[in-house]
Structures are given as structure tokens and as C-alpha cells.
Amino acid sequence: MKQGLKRSWKSGMSMLLAASFTLLAACGSSTGETPSAAASGTPAAAESSKPVEIEFWYGLGGNLGDNMKAKIDAFNVSQDEVIVKGIAQADYTETEQKLQAAIASNNVPAAVLSSNIDWARKGYYASLDDLIAADANFKAEDFVQTFLDQGKVDGKQYFLPMYGTTQVMYYRKDALEAAGIDPASLTTWEALADAAAKMTKKEGGKTTFYGWEPMWGEGNMIDAALSRGGSVLSEDGKTVTIDSPEWIETWEHFRKWIHEDQIMRIHSGGQGWEYWYKTIDDVMKNKAAGYTGSSGDQGDLDFGIVAAMEQPGWEGVGEGKPVASAIQAGIVAKASPEQQQAAFKWFTYFMQTENTADWSMKTGYIAVRQSALDDPAFKAFSEKNPQISVPLQQASHASVPFQDPTGGKITDALKVAADQVQINNVPAEQALKEAQAKAQSELDRISK
């Protein structure tokens, strides 16, 4: 999931936690090789003195896109060995789609803000182990280990965490105050639904102010199901369990809140992150009391108007257990060795403590380096902006991301089911049982 990118709401309003480094890049030739000095007619000494140019593909827009461009520009002026050319796409999905086409045509970037376990196993991405081993300043122990581990495939490090993310709750302080609601009391989804009903305003049978807006897609509803005790697979990994009572009851609540009670709504469709921007707009323009969004939204929000809190749990179950995941980057295997080294140099620059701390403050994403939390600028910032601690607090009891053994087929089935419930008002039991059947067939197919 998003997990999220957006537009700046308040100039100079930087945000949230620590988030880690960013990636690489590289402009691949059609063969994936760099022409030799002799072939190009350029003297070897002159050729070796030229900086290595690489492309870095990333699906970030709005405030995040602006901050990424600034980091790339700062890197380029900080040294004379590498030039990174940033290529922005509409979102993460478009980045992967374009990368697939680039790999097929043998005309690849060196690095991308994207990760795919199945593609790593197929050799599309380069293992980073040798580059890491050769870098005495890498300091693997300084990373948030759950984020670093998410980039390992069959024991090898193929991806590095650029930043961490988890979906948290943002609410208008004035809306809750006017309704006499204490944010500290909203520790369960049931309590949040009651509060949303109280804050919702209707005219002529039509909702004009929504009590809450979940984010479109399967991510937020997966979080809620996991918080209720649901799982995606059985312990032995042989059975898809997304049609269990925990899932059905959870998703049916959302369907009812959106379609029957009309105290919640979602924005769906549009280009890139358009739906995400519209959700944020509703809250900032006083059309909704709050929404569920990315930790990375904090760079776009005015915390004079809104505040942040953790995702709730469920009555009788316990605290929420939403997913905390790393947005990862990888180096494309078809990039030349020189380009791969240049991409890794860009990585290490972004991962420097002061840079990852700065990225975190300006975007709101979770730090992947523990030392970023001790950065003087970050410590001073967090004292003035307490919302920065909410994603970190939530990450301490979060669920790990699901690693789909089918190469994404189970996740795809959940995406379809989420649309059925959120958009088409299909009963959760029907949508999830259909998704389970499709996902189970895919799991059985690879298990044979």
C-alpha cells in the first residue's frame, strides 16, 4: 500500500519520522553494457574521468516527488563521480509496469523504487551482497532489522529499504471537539464507527459531511482483518484463510459503514494517486472528520488543523496490528557493473544519518536507520511535532507484510474483493469466498 504521496498543504510544514534512503538509478544501454573507450574512440583516461550517469525510476508525486528531486540534486552537487537522473512515474504500479517493458527490451534503468521477490528469483534484480560487503560504512546493524529483512530473498539481500510506512489515522481536531469526542477513546473500530455516526451530517437523505474516510484498496481492510486476528495463510502455508470469520466480519463492517450507514466513504479510481489526494482534500476542506492514510502523508498536512493517532483494534481482541512495511529499491541486473556501483553510491548517500533524518522530517515516513532518531535536527523537530512518533509507536506492535508465494495472485484476489465490497456493495462473505477460491487454486498450482 501506499502507502501515500501527495501535495503540500502548508509551505514549510515538514513531517514525520524517520525514513530511509533512496535509490539508485541507471540509464542502461540497449545491450545492458557500457561501450568501451576504444569502441567510442575516446582515450581511456578521458573516458574514466567522466561521471557515470544513471537513471533512478520512482513513482512519487506531490510533496514526496519534490523532496526526492531535491535529494537527487543535492547528491549530484555533492560529488563528481555519479550523475543521477530522476525519472518520475505516476505511482509505484506504473514504475513496475514500465520496468517490465524495459527489461523485455534490454533498455533498463540502473535502479528503481520497486521490489519484486519473484523477479529477484528470476534474475531481473542484482544481489547487493557484494556491494554491501565492500562498503565499510554500510553498518547493517544500524538498520531497523524488520525493514532490512524484507529486502532479502532466499537469504540474499536484493532490495534495500528506502523508507518505512504504516497506515495511521488523521482527524480534524475541531470536528471531534465539537462532537465532544476524546480522541484517546477511539481505540476500537466499533468506537470509531460510533464517533463517525455522531459526526456525520446529512441533508435530504444525502451525506454532506462524513465521519470517516477509509483509504481505497485492500490495504486498510487487510490491516483491520489482521487486527481482528485474521491471517492470509494457514500456519503450514497450504491453505488460504481470507474467508475466515475474522475477515468476513471485518470487511462486512466496512461495507455497512460505507453503503448502508453512509457514515464513511472512499474515493476510488483516477490517475495515479488522485484518489489519495481527494481523500486528503475532504478532511482538509472540512468535508470529513478524518481518514486513514500513510505515515508519509504528514508532510502534506497542517497539524494546526489535524492530529494523528494509531489505528484502532477491535473490542475483545486487543490493540491494532496493521502492517508496517518498507518501501524498497533495487538495482536492475542488466545494468552495467559501473552503473550498479554508481547506483549503490547514490543509495549510501541517501542513507546517511542526516539525510534519512531530513527525508523523514519532510515526508513523515518511518526511519530505516536507528541512528536517524538521534540526529540533533530530528530530535529538535520531534519535540515540536509530537505526531512524528505515532507511526513509530504503531510499528512496535505491527504485523509484517505478507509475502505472496504465488507471485502476487493472492494479493490480486484481495484487491478484487476489496473493490467488490467498497465500490460495488457486494456482501463481504461472497467477495471473500470468491477471492479465496481463486487464490487457493493459484497456491495449489505452485505447490504441485
Per-residue model confidence as pLDDT tens digits over 44-101: 444 567 999 999 999 998 889 999 999 999 999 999 999 999 999 999 999 999 999 9
CA distance 350 to 382: 21
- Cite the residue boundaries of each domain of the chain with CATH code 3.40.190.10: 37-165+325-395, 167-323+402-447
Q: Give the chain's mean pLDDT.
A: 89
Q: What is the DSSP letter of 318?
A: B
Which CATH superfamily includes the segment(s) 37-165+325-395? Periplasmic binding protein-like II (3.40.190.10)
Position 38 scores a pLDDT of 30
Q: What is the pLDDT of residue 328?
A: 94
Cα–Cα distance, 185 to 391 (Å, whole number): 18
Q: Is the confidence at residue 188, as pLDDT, over 80?
A: yes
Residue 15: per-residue pLDDT:
34
pLDDT at 48: 60
Mean pLDDT of 196-205: 95
Q: With a cut of 50, say whether residue 364 has pLDDT above it.
A: yes
pLDDT at 308 over 80: yes
What is the CATH number assigned to the segment(s) 167-323+402-447? 3.40.190.10
Phi-psi region of 356 (alpha: psi -120 to 50; beta: other; left: phi over 0): alpha
Start-to-end C-alpha separation, the chain? 30
At residue 352 the predicted structure's pLDDT band, cuts being 50, 70 and 90, is: confident
**What average pLDDT score do residues 18-47 get?**
36
- Among candidate residues 229, 240, 21, the one with its CA nearest the CA of residue 135: 21
Q: Is the Cα dihedral 376, 380, 383, 384 positive or negative?
A: negative
DSSP state of 185: G
Q: Which helix (H) or strand (E) holds 63?
A: helix 62-78
- Identify the three-state secondary structure at position 76: helix
- Which band of pLDDT confidence, cut at 50, 70 and 90, is reported for residue 395? confident
Q: What is the DSSP letter of 434?
A: H
Q: What DSSP line would sit under 389-432, residue for residue?
A: HHHHHHHTTPBPPP--TTSSHHHHHHHHHHHHHHTT---HHHHH
377-388: per-residue pLDDT in tens? 999 998 999 898
Mean pLDDT of 381-403: 88
Print burial letters for 232-263: b (CB count within 10 Å at least 16), e (below 16): bbeeeeeebbbbbebbbebbbbbbbbbbebbb
State how far the Cα of 378 lies from the Cα of 407, in Å rounded to an integer: 38
Q: Which amino acid is at 373?
A: L
Residue 214 per-residue DSSP state: P
Confidence of residue 181 (pLDDT cuts 50, 70, 90): very high
Whether 18 shows a pLDDT value over 60: the answer reads no
